Structure 1
Amino acid sequence: MGRPKQFDPDIAVERAMEVFWRKGYAATTPQDLVDALGLGKGSLYNAFGSKRALFELALRRYRDNQTELLAQLLDETGPVKDRLRTMLRLLAEMDLADPDRRGCMAVNTAAELAGTGETATAVVRRMFDRTEDAFRQLIVQGQRSGEIASDRDPEALGSLLLNSVVGLRILARVADGPDRLSRVIDATVDAL
């Protein structure tokens, strides 16, 4: 009898994230996951329980990666509007450079599964809440430094920035170049 194949669950979740991000939840088949993870179907289900459970782990991994990236970008030093513009441009550049034009896995999941997947919806909602809160904190910093008028509502501006990022990530999936995205970025930052 052969020895069972050993695998690293973290690597498996990372690989599953890539598949789900590229194809979406519904279009990803168990065979796609078996092929990407290098596991048999039985091992896949024994390790993760179900396709939905593995998807939720992959989505949490994406959320954690993106939250860390956002925090690093927004924690840089310098004027608030410059940091925000740099962060938005980096997101656009990353999306445009991706040959699969995957966009944002959280935005994709919100569009695909909102209302049908309670856990996935909660993970996406939490990611959006964290992003919006990071933007709100950045607005408050800008108000303290005098870059942003103190009579502007930081929560409303945080929501506006979140909405702009969601739209930007969708536009990047179909953009034929950076021009429209640059206009959106400049208009968004200038509106603050």
Structure 2
Amino acid sequence: MPKTETFDKDLVVQQVTEVFHTKSYTLTSMQDLVDATGLNRSSIYNSFGSKLDLYMMCLKDYQSKSMDHIQGIISSNSCHINTIERIFYSNAECKNGCLINNCVSEMANQEDSINTFLKNNDNGMIDLFKDIVEKGQKEGSINNKKNAYDYAIYLVTALKGFNLSTILMDNKKDTQSIVKTILSVLE
């Protein structure tokens, strides 16, 4: 008779996500995961598969929570240029950077499943920004010098660079200056 799990899988994913976010995939050992969760190695392997499988679960969970957060920003702002600004500022709040962006710099070219996940995430972000830009262009808060898709690619690229930059940035004025400069292209 198989053993029944006596732990909360969602809590374990949250605990492990914190470890990966702090240490990175490569520097996280199985012992780190054992220490963070209080589970033994066999429970982790039996319930979640390999370290890579668990990392993918963490990335998907992080992506889902990030999209929920962004959807909250979208629904609470009526001006679309302000929505973009708020998305950027909310990304500056995490001192460990964005887990998905950190994954791009660490793992994008090392694992096909990670590469596919990251490309799909980028495409989703492009679609999200394209929709925001199109609405902003219709309302007049975003210029029509470029099409919404071109601006969306620009914003996704700018957000990635912004996320990496803010890890080291302590000066709020510098952060504000970067966001204002990024937005000036759209105004």
Alpha-carbon distance between aligned partners in 2 of 1:151 and 1:179, rounded to the nearest angstrom: 28
The answer for the alignment partner of 2:26 in structure 1 is 26
Alpha-carbon distance between aligned partners in 2 of 1:79 and 1:177, rounded to the nearest angstrom: 27
The answer for the alignment partner of 2:85 in structure 1 is 85
Q: What is the aligned length?
A: 184
1:17 has 2:17 as partner: yes
What is the CA-CA distance between 1:117 and the residue it aligns to?
1.3
Alpha-carbon distance between aligned partners in 2 of 1:174 and 1:104, rounded to the nearest angstrom: 13
Alpha-carbon distance between aligned partners in 2 of 1:26 and 1:156, rounded to the nearest angstrom: 34
Alpha-carbon distance between aligned partners in 1 of 2:86 and 2:46, rounded to the nearest angstrom: 44
CA displacement, residues 31-50 of structure 1 (integer Å, 9 cap, x when unaligned)? 00001111011111111121
Give secondary structure in 2 for the equivalent of 1:75.
helix
CA displacement, residues 116-138 of structure 1 (integer Å, 9 cap, x when unaligned)? 11112222222222112111101
Q: Which amino acid is 2:154 matched to?
A: L
Give the alignment of 1:168-187 within 5 angstroms: 168-187=162-181
TM-score (norm 1): 0.90
TM-score (norm 2): 0.92
Q: Which amino acid is 1:115 matched to?
A: N
What is the CA-CA distance between 1:148 and the residue it aligns to?
2.1
The answer for the alignment partner of 2:120 in structure 1 is 126
Q: Which amino acid is 1:11 matched to?
A: L
The answer for the alignment partner of 2:148 in structure 1 is 154
Checking the alignment, whether the CA contact within 8 Å between 1:30 and 1:41 is kept in structure 2 is yes
Checking the alignment, whether the CA contact within 8 Å between 2:108 and 2:118 is kept in structure 1 is no
What is the CA-CA distance between 1:168 and the residue it aligns to?
0.8
Alpha-carbon distance between aligned partners in 1 of 2:109 and 2:75, rounded to the nearest angstrom: 33
CA displacement, residues 11-66 of structure 1 (integer Å, 9 cap, x when unaligned)? 11111111111111000000000011110111111111211111111111111111
Give secondary structure in 2 for the equivalent of 1:163.
helix
The answer for the alignment partner of 1:98 in structure 2 is none
Gap runs ≥5 in structure 1 = 96-100
The answer for the alignment partner of 2:6 in structure 1 is 6
- In the superposition, relative to structure 1, how do residues 4 and 77 fare at CA in structure 2: closer, same or farther (>3 Å)? closer
Q: Which amino acid is 1:19 matched to?
A: V
Checking the alignment, whether the CA contact within 8 Å between 1:67 and 1:127 is kept in structure 2 is no
Identity of aligned residues (%): 24
Quick check: 83-92 or 112-121, which moved more?
83-92
Give secondary structure in 1 for the equivalent of 2:76.
coil
Checking the alignment, whether the CA contact within 8 Å between 1:14 and 1:58 is kept in structure 2 is yes
Checking the alignment, whether the CA contact within 8 Å between 2:88 and 2:179 is kept in structure 1 is yes
The answer for the alignment partner of 2:47 in structure 1 is 47
Alpha-carbon distance between aligned partners in 1 of 2:66 and 2:89, rounded to the nearest angstrom: 15
Q: Which amino acid is 1:179 matched to?
A: K
CA displacement, residues 100-159 of structure 1 (integer Å, 9 cap, x when unaligned)? x31000000000001111112222222222112111101100111122233521101001
The answer for the alignment partner of 2:109 in structure 1 is 115
Gap runs ≥5 in structure 2 = none
Give secondary structure in 1 for the equivalent of 2:135.
helix
Alpha-carbon distance between aligned partners in 2 of 1:113 and 1:176, rounded to the nearest angstrom: 27
What is the CA-CA distance between 1:5 and the residue it aligns to?
6.9
